[in-house]
Amino acid sequence: MAAGPRQAAAPPPRTAPSAALPPGPSVPRFVQGAVALTSAQRGMRRMRDRYGDAFTVNVPIFGHAVVMSNPAEVKQLFTARPEMVDNLDRNLGRVLGPGSLFALAGEAHHRQRKLLIPPFHGRRLAAYERIVQEETLRETAAWPQGQPFPTLPSTMRITLNVILRAVFGAQGAQFDELRALLPRAIKLGSQLAVVPVPKIDLGRWSPWGRFWAMRREYDAIVDRLIDTALHDSALDERDDVLALMLQSRYDDGSAMSRDEIADQLLTLLAAGHETTATTLAWAVERLRRHPAVLSELADEADTGGSALREAVIAEVQRSRPVIDLVGRQVKADGFQLGRWSLPKGMAVLVSIALMHDDERTFPNPRLFDPARFLAAKPDLYQWVPFGGGSRRCLGASFATMEMNVVLRTVLRDFRLEPTDEPDERWHSRGVASAPADGGRLVVRRRTAGLSAQVPARTMGTQSTGAQS
């Protein structure tokens, strides 16, 4: 690796005495909060340039928090034992329910993860490819030719439908009900994740009251889904995650409760729907501005290869990570993290964007260059769009498969027109950041091809009109 100009990007010196906290700005909390809200990306870069790759901020919600982007320190953080470092107290788990992976810590988190890993790996993933291809063909069948349109509403519908089918195992009326309810519930829930929970339910007059009403509706639908599955004589032949959850057992032989299943399904949707859709919109935004890569990619899709497509997806996630920060909280006093000694309760935020923008790890980081990942797979402690360690994204392989199949299907059926428009800006949607114009796309259909083979709809729904 070439030496970069920022001395602070170097690995922590082994013999350095540990300082208490990294340096940081001393302006009041509300000013730092305003900067974080209005220009998070630029603000982070400015602080990294000024203070180095670890700095302390003081922002609303977290109070004093350390922001890190030194790969060695981040690796130490991700691999620390849960007694020392675990999840943030204030996170999405507050709205997703006490059984959500986001809400669980320590042994309870480990126990739940062990049960949920099998559905997201190996043979299971191959079974979901067909669903992804069907949903992509169904959605793209209505794409206008020769006129610009934002990709994001389409990718939001594809990823929502895929999760409802592959994860919830939903069909018919329940599929339609969940499709109408969940995007609204997740949007409100992600806004409420950091808002204090009121002691009483003020009903539809308060945001929490509205959220709880939606949650009751959701629980009733999931109850019906579970009843249907338990009466399904072919349950053991089903591949959807709900069916697998119902048949799985903890080490002591007990089954997941209905509440645990409901919380976990909601978690998978909240974590996997918008993140995958926004990354796909960024892929379109990046590819249209890099015609040489786009053309090679189309050739590869025709000949059945996938190496470049995989490298493109990795480079899109490096250069346009849709989640800015991954959070942890120090659980024991005086935790030594590289050069620093952190007090119990301190929030530590890993800046994914700053790690991916480090020229010592990724030379010429502002250049979109999938070739970086052609020869070697990404190092999972330097390339961290899915976070890391024992809390790394559970759906990473699922998301990678899904993005791969969506792109392959689109490239086989359409020619994506390049553009010389300026890069789209970042737009924060709450959970994930999307291209501000939704990844504007202009396409021409290449053949009558694959879309003619879309199977008859089995779910009684139209591809358009869902919430995006």
Residues of this chain that interact with ligand HEM (CB under 6 A) are 101-102, 113, 163, 167, 267-268, 271-272, 275-276, 279, 322-323, 326, 385-388, 391-395, 398-399
CA nearest neighbour of 402 among 161, 113, 151: 161
Q: Which residues of 388-398 are buried (b: 16+ CB within 10 A; e: fewer)?
A: bbebebbbbbb
Tokens 């004093």 appear where?
64
Q: Which is nearer to ligand HEM, 102 or 208 (CB)?
A: 102
- The residues with which 428 forms a beta bridge, in sequence order, are 433
- CB of 325: closest distance to ligand HEM in angstroms? 8
- CB of 323: closest distance to ligand HEM in angstroms? 4
The letter for the amino acid at 44 is M
- CB of 384: closest distance to ligand HEM in angstroms? 8
Contact 270, 247 (CB under 8 A): no
Cα torsion 127, 128, 129, 135: sign: positive
CA nearest neighbour of 167 among 442, 404, 395: 395
Angstrom distance (rounded) from CA 440 to CA 148? 6
Residue 3 CB neighbour total at 10 angstroms: 10
- CB of 357: closest distance to ligand HEM in angstroms? 16
Q: Which is nearer to ligand HEM, 90 or 113 (CB)?
A: 113
Tokens representing residue 57 in the block: 């901020």
Tokens 């309760």 appear where?
345
Cα torsion 192, 198, 202, 206: sign: negative
- CB of 104: closest distance to ligand HEM in angstroms? 8
- CB of 25: closest distance to ligand HEM in angstroms? 25
> 132: alpha, beta or left, given left = phi > 0 and alpha = psi -120 to 50?
alpha
- CB of 142: closest distance to ligand HEM in angstroms? 24
Q: Which is nearer to ligand HEM, 226 or 268 (CB)?
A: 268
